[in-house]
């Protein structure tokens, strides 16, 4: 069995990663998923959270927003709205986004607006969690 599979991580505005990978871990709809070389084919949803992938024995991390993932035995493609490494995350911007969302949630709004703001808050909190975990 091969030790690696090809991993491609694409966000709306760029290719985040394209190369070999030994293991991938991401948050799916019903919990954490792990992908190793030879994984059976599947397509599933990716929820906003932390994604990690191992290259040459070293784990790399990314804050990911919602998307899809297509797995087959030799190649896995992650398509997410946004992807940032911990080093790329602007903590101040994420904090401002969090405060803005929290303020909007205190105001009366339609259900649609509510979900929109809740998703923005979720993205901001996720970015803050990922930097907190990996930046010291």
Where along the sequence are the contacts to ligand ATP (CB under 6 A)? 13, 65, 82, 84, 88-90, 93-94, 97, 120, 123, 127
Smallest separation (angstroms) from ligand ATP to the CB of 42 = 26
For residues 94, 133, 130, 37, the Cα torsion angle rounded to the nearest 10 degrees is 170
Structure tokens at 118: 């809740």
Q: How far is the CB of 106 from ligand ATP (least distance, A)?
A: 17
Please say which residue, 43 or 91, places its beta carbon nearer to ligand ATP: 91
Of 2 and 90, the one with the shorter C-beta distance to ligand ATP is 90
Within 10 angstroms of residue 5's Cβ, the number of other Cβ atoms is 21
Give the residue with the Cβ less far from ligand ATP, 76 or 82.
Answer: 82
Q: Closest approach of Cβ 107 to ligand ATP, in Å?
A: 17
112: left (phi over 0), alpha (psi -120 to 50) or beta: alpha
Closest CA to 24 of 66, 65, 71: 71
- Nearest-approach distance from CB 86 to ligand ATP, in angstroms: 10
| DSSP conformation class of 22 | S
User: How is residue 87 annotated by DSSP?
Assistant: G
Closer residue to ligand ATP, CB minimum distance, 47 or 72? 47
DSSP 107: S
């Amino acid at each position: 069995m091969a030790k690696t599979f090809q991993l491609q991580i694409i966000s709306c505005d760029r290719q985040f990663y394209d190369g070999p990978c030994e293991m991938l871990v991401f948050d799916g709809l019903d919990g954490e998923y792990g992908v190793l070389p030879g994984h059976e084919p599947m397509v599933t949803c990716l929820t906003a959270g932390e994604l990690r992938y191992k290259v040459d024995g070293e784990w790399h991390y990314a804050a990911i927003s919602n998307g899809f993932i297509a797995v087959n035995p030799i190649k896995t493609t992650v398509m997410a709205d946004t992807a940032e490494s911990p080093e790329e995350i602007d903590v101040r911007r994420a904090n401002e986004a969090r405060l803005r969302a929290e303020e909007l949630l205190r105001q009366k709004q339609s259900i649609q607006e509510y979900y929109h703001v809740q998703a923005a808050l979720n993205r901001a909190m996720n970015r803050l969690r990922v930097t907190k975990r990996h930046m010291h």
